[in-house]
Amino acid sequence: MDRTLLDAKKEKLSHLRLYWHDILSGEHPTGATIVPPVKNSMTGFGLVRMIDNPLTLGPKMSSKCVGRAQGFYASAGLDELGFYMSMNFEFIEGKYNGSTITVQGRNPALHKVREMAVVGGSGLFRFARGYATASTHWIDFKTGDAVVEYNVYVLHY
């Protein structure tokens, strides 16, 4: 494939640190349960939740919002709290405004650090590939609200 036809110059590696805010409580939740978990499941197995979560530069909601995480996660673990994640990080600020990164994979939520794949992107992230690590910064087990730090390492043109 001729890269010049695609306006693909030199491949770059970018590192993005973002905070993902999953808000399930209050008047303006950013996640909605589409399918409830099966009865008597200790792991919430079967739960499917759509999200439109803020992505900020810092862990506080008052931090600058640079994008949204839009997609879904589903509780896929029978014996462990583990989610299947599929979401687009849509950027709304700065040089990546209008671009997306697609993150997909297994998220064993109680592990200190989880790794998922970057499987694509758009805009400045065309032909994106790489990985994202997630680590829980804060969680309220009563409401389900959580803040997760994502470190995304993405190769793109």
Mean pLDDT, rounded, for 121-127: 96
Per-position DSSP letters for 98-142, written without gaps between them:
T-EEEEEEEEETTSSSEEEEEEEEEGGGTT-EEEEEEEEEEE-TT
Domains in the chain and their CATH numbers? 12-156 (2.40.480.10)
> Which positions ≥6 away from 26 have C-beta within 8 Å?
none
Question: Across the strands, what pairs with 67?
Answer: 55, 91
What's the pLDDT score for residue 99?
Answer: 98
> What's residue 115's pLDDT?
98
CA neighbor of 154 nearest in space, from 126, 134, 135: 126
Say yes or no to pLDDT of 6 above 90.
no
Confidence grade of residue 2 (pLDDT, cut at 50, 70, 90)? low
pLDDT of amino acid 1: 55
In this predicted structure, the answer to whether residue 107 has a pLDDT above a threshold of 70 is yes
What does the pLDDT average to over 50-54? 98
